[in-house]
Structures are given as C-alpha cells and as structure tokens.
Amino acid sequence: MRVAIQGERGSFHDEAARQWYGEHIEIVECDSFPEVFAAVKSGAAEKAVAAMENSLYGSINQVYDLVEEYGYPIVGEVHLSVHQQLIAVPGHEITTIYSHPVALAQCETFLDEQYPFAGRVEVPDTAGAVRQISESREPGAAAIASAYAASLYDMPIIARDIENNPANFTRFLVLDPNGTVPEDADRATLVVTTKNDPGSLARVLLVFADMGINLSKLQSRPIVGRPWHYRFYLVVDCAGERLHRALEGIEPLTTEVKVLGEYVFNP
C-alpha cells in the first residue's frame, strides 16, 4: 500500500502513517499538502495522511480546504505525541542546528539555554535535516527530529525530548478516496455554515448537547472571499444514525452542512 505524506521518510507524517496502516507501507514523499492530494488523484498513492492541527501553531486550514476540494473521506485520526531529539555529527561542538521552523520553535527554550550561539537554519523537513547531516558529515552540524529519524539514518541523539512543552502533539487525518463508513463509527468531522444570526451557532451546539454528543473540536473559519463571515469545523463524538438525527435537528439553523468523514476514533 502506498501512502502519500508531506515530507520524507522518518518524518512525523511517516510515523503517523505507520501507526495507522502498519510498518509494511510504501511512503510516497511529497513537497507540499497540495502535492499529497494530487498524488492520490493521479494514482501515485492510494491513501494520504496529513497533519491538521498541532498544539503550537493550531489548525492547518489548508488541509481542510484540500479535504473539501478533493472530497476524499476522512477515515481516521492519528494523534502523535511529538518529542524532539537533538541529533548531531559526533566529535564536534555544535555550531549549526537544522530543522523545520515549527520544530525549532518547539525547542526554543532548550536551544536558548544550551546553545545560545549556535546558528539555526530552517529546512523544509525534520527528517530531511537528519538525512542531510548524515550525508554531509558537516562538522558542528546538528538536526532536530524524531528518535525514529535518528535511527533511520543511524545518527546519535545528543539530548532527548528537548521540546519546551512535553504535552506537544500533532493530530493527523487519514484520507482514503475509497473509504466507507464502518459499522462501529463513533466520530465525525463536519463543516457547518450557520445562518447569519447571532443565536444560530449556540442553538446548533445545544442540539448536540441535548443529545449528549460531545464536541472534540470547534473552530470558526472565515468564509473564503467573505472575510469574517464564519463557517465552523466541528468534530463530534458520534456517527451513523445518531449523527443523522442530530443533522436533521440543526438543519433549520444552517445554510450548509458537509460531513467530511465518519470513522472509528480509537480502532
């Protein structure tokens, strides 16, 4: 099975894909999220795994836009604790640290304390940073990436779990153009556009609350082309018949409701 990800082997996307589909998948490396979806469309990959939220930078709106554009159903969510490792070419003092900008930001406290004078260089991918220093053997070069990337390129970890916030995590969507709704689905991701009336969102949420349905995520999003008119992304802990009853309940309060996927949250 070929799974398209942003980034390369050894990245957190790779880890998320393996966590969902197992070790024996073939990773299709892509430079950007639009390329990930295009790879599935062209048949270069059968499935896709794409980050949609991390605890430092929040939601990745672009991924939601692509899910809507391509219409591939969400078939699962992977939550990954993100632990960053300092990985270095042995035998030199560290003078330059390569990593993805988010990873550099996540480790800022540690870097400022331990390596205040080392240069920081932004590169597109954490795993790519490890590959690069493992190939170049540049004296003084280090990378910030996962333990998995260190082992993949057989490079030593100099300092472990150097992220500022140990509760760091990233949330990924699993997308499958041939996905169907499993019988035991218990979660759904929705895009809801409420009527332009101050009470309609509150009343939408009351419909879910009155049915005892928990919300796992709620985020307003400006409507493209109409800044500051909002749509809402909702992740609800229900699916199937119960979800459809709730959607009937909110119908009078909304102008559009799209179900982006119904799936099993903890399979």
If you ran DSSP here, which 8-state letter would residue 258 be given?
E
> If we measure between CA atoms, which residue out of 185, 190, 189 comes closest to residue 264?
185
Q: Does 44 bind a second copy (CB under 8 A)?
A: no
By the 8 A CB rule, do 35 and 67 touch?
no
Q: Which is nearer to a second copy, 43 or 167 (CB)?
A: 167
Residue from 123, 147, 158, 159 binding a second copy (CB under 8 A) = 123
Decide if 205 contacts 234 (C-beta within 8 A): no
Alpha-helix residue ranges (DSSP H) falling in 71-213: 101-106, 108-114, 126-136, 147-152, 200-210
Q: Is residue 105 involved in binding a second copy (CB under 8 A)?
A: yes
Q: Which is nearer to a second copy, 153 or 208 (CB)?
A: 208
Q: Which one from 12, 172, 208, 232 is the annotated catalytic residue? A: 172
| Of 1, 41, 184, 215, the one binding a second copy by CB under 8 A | 215
Nearer to a second copy, 77 or 176 (CB): 77
Among residues 101 and 267, whose Cβ is nearest to a second copy? 101
Dihedral (C-alpha) 100, 105, 108, 110: value to the nearest 10 degrees? -60
Binding of residue 230 to a second copy (CB under 8 A) = yes
Cβ at position 115, least distance to a second copy in Å: 14
Site for a second copy in 141-200 (CB under 8 A): 165-167, 169, 198-199
Find the farthest-apart pair of alpha carbons in the chain and give their distance in angstroms, rounded: 67
Name the residue among 246, 235, 244 with its Cα closest to residue 211.
Answer: 246
Q: Is residue 26 classed as helix, strand or coil in its secondary structure? A: strand
Backbone angles phi, psi at 154, to 5 degrees: 55, 50
Would you count residue 56 as binding a second copy (CB under 8 A)? yes
Which residue in 136, 220, 248, 267 binds a second copy (CB under 8 A)? Answer: 220
Name the helix (H) or strand (E) containing 7: none
In whole angstroms, the minimum distance from the beta carbon of 166 to a second copy comes to 8
Our answer to whether residue 170 is catalytic in this structure is yes
Which CB sits closer to a second copy, 151 or 214?
Answer: 214
- 3-class DSSP state of 245: helix
Q: What are the DSSP E strand ranges found in 107-243? A: 119-122, 141-145, 157-159, 169-175, 187-194, 215-223, 226-236
User: Of the listed pieces 13-21, 116-124, 182-190, 251-259, which binds a second copy according to CB under 8 A?
Assistant: 116-124
Q: What residues line the site for a second copy (CB under 8 A)? A: 32-34, 55-62, 79, 101, 105, 108, 122-124, 165-167, 169, 198-199, 201-203, 205-206, 208-210, 212-222, 224-228, 230, 232
Supply the residues annotated as catalytic: 170, 172
